[in-house]
Amino acid sequence: MQQILEAIQAGASGDELSNIALPDTYRAAYVRRQDVAMFEGLESADKDPRKSLHIGDVARPEIAPDEAVVAVMASSINFNTVWTSIFEPLPTFGFLDRLGKESAWGKRHALDYHVVGSDAAGVVLRVGSAVRNWKPGDRVTVHCNYVDDQDPSAHNDSMHASNQRIWGFETNFGGLADLTIVKANQLMPKPSHLTWEESAVNALCNSTSYRMLVSDNGARMKQGDTVLIWGATGGIGGYATQYVLNGGGIPVGVVSSPAKAALLNELGVEAVIDRRAENYRFWSDEHTQDEGEWRRFGKKVRSLVGDDADIVFEHVGRQTMGASVFACRRGGTLVSCAATSGYMVEFDNRHFWMKLKKLIGSHFANYSEAWQANRLVDMGRIQPLLSAVYPLEGVGEASLKIHRNEHEGKIGILCLAPTEGLGIDNPEKRALIGEDKITLFRRHGG
């Protein structure tokens, strides 16, 4: 790997990279099948990713004709790695076993270890015989939509494909490693003005927020729409906030500390709710929601922007769904992609049907949406949310921070990249976009 890293740093050509032998094993972050019961009986909050995520050498698999081997310079932690590491809502080995039964190539994934990670920025080292658009030496980012292009159901919106998967969560050989194996149709050009770690944090969260708000498949936000964004400085929330500002919408950002509120202000958001300071208690006990608290929240939104929310950007789930449905305006749209606080959600259906609201389920993004979202990063219109950087050995620690909601934006992970700050190919473009804009979250994260 050292030889590969040195070649990349020296700007080696694709041919030169092709001539360097790939190692039989590579360093990766993984969970083990033998550990899936290790947290049994513990509360979710007490499950510690540092205990289940291991760093060590794993065997490099052969690539299929439609795949590529990428040298991963940097990756990032997504919430799905937290889920995998605490084996909730279920261990991911079931996904790998199912994939293993689908085809001879799928069989490679059904192992007793699961290499995790659903983001990467790096350099293509090898491509399979059927790959046409990419070659060794290409500097890329990787999106996580993993689809079988011989499945007819994958050819309208590939997120509707019957066997659609998330790479590094529902497949093996993910991005938190020195090498990764991906389908060629997961590759996108690396934004030329960003460092490796800045390039690595965007694809999963940015594409998800793009589909939820901008794409025809999502809420189709338009100028003047008021958009209520939960977790507005978090991974998907931070990109959602930028889309609303860029698209002429009016964001109402919900966060949980004065520091996060200040960060939102700096990003250009005027209407900010500190949910902790306001002390909302949407659930009075485990089984009962408090409509008075929904009303107090709705009133707060109206007091800030003069109206109810046209769109609610939902991903918190059980804790907030009742309030979200209430705070959405008559005829408005809620778009949901997750349920961090619990997936059995409850809301008062009368507020939903009597006021003709719409609820859209959304999940990651198809290749076209991911490409559009990546293009906006490349043009400097969407900024990376990198707030902290850890080495690969720190994957457990970084996952714990996200599990405990002690972070802002995105945490980047250095894989092959020896230090932060490398990989900028176009410093002039970076200067034009502005260092201050690009590094806002990083400066905030310290």
What does the binding site for ligand NAP look like in residue numbers (CB under 6 A)? 78-80, 204-205, 208, 230-231, 233-237, 254-256, 260, 275, 315-316, 319-320, 337-338, 340-341, 363-364, 402, 405
The single residue listed with the structure tokens 């939104």 is 301
Q: Shortest Cβ distance from residue 195 to ligand NAP (Å)?
A: 20
Please name which of 281, 256, 103 lies closest in space to residue 183, comparing C-alpha atoms: 103
Q: Please say which residue, 108 or 143, places its beta carbon nearer to ligand NAP.
A: 143
Q: Decide if 328 contacts 298 (C-beta within 8 A).
A: no
Amino acid of residue 442: R
Q: Please say which residue, 110 or 252, places its beta carbon nearer to ligand NAP.
A: 252
Q: Please say which residue, 238 or 249, places its beta carbon nearer to ligand NAP.
A: 238
Q: Decide if 377 contacts 206 (C-beta within 8 A).
A: yes
Q: How many residues does the chain have?
A: 446
Q: Decide if 229 contacts 251 (C-beta within 8 A).
A: yes
Q: Please say which residue, 18 or 256, places its beta carbon nearer to ligand NAP.
A: 256
Q: Please say which residue, 4 or 204, places its beta carbon nearer to ligand NAP.
A: 204
List Cβ neighbours of 83 (8 Å cut-off, separation of 6 or more): 89, 92, 169
- CA 349 – CA 346 distance, rounded (Å): 9
Helix (H, G, I), strand (E, B) or coil at 418: coil
Q: Shortest Cβ distance from residue 111 to ligand NAP (Å)?
A: 23
Helix (H, G, I), strand (E, B) or coil at 405: coil
Handedness of CA 345, 348, 353, 358 (dihedral sign): negative
- CA 41 – CA 89 distance, rounded (Å): 14
Amino acid of residue 327: A
Q: Shortest Cβ distance from residue 199 to ligand NAP (Å)?
A: 17
Q: Shortest Cβ distance from residue 315 to ligand NAP (Å)?
A: 4
Q: Shortest Cβ distance from residue 244 to ligand NAP (Å)?
A: 15
Q: Shortest Cβ distance from residue 411 to ligand NAP (Å)?
A: 9
Q: Please say which residue, 178 or 197, places its beta carbon nearer to ligand NAP.
A: 197
Q: Shortest Cβ distance from residue 374 to ligand NAP (Å)?
A: 15
Please name which of 133, 311, 302 lies closest in space to residue 218, comparing C-alpha atoms: 311
Please state whether the peptide bond connecting residue 89 to the residue before it is cis, i.e. omega within 30 degrees of 0. yes
Q: Please say which residue, 108 or 260, places its beta carbon nearer to ligand NAP.
A: 260
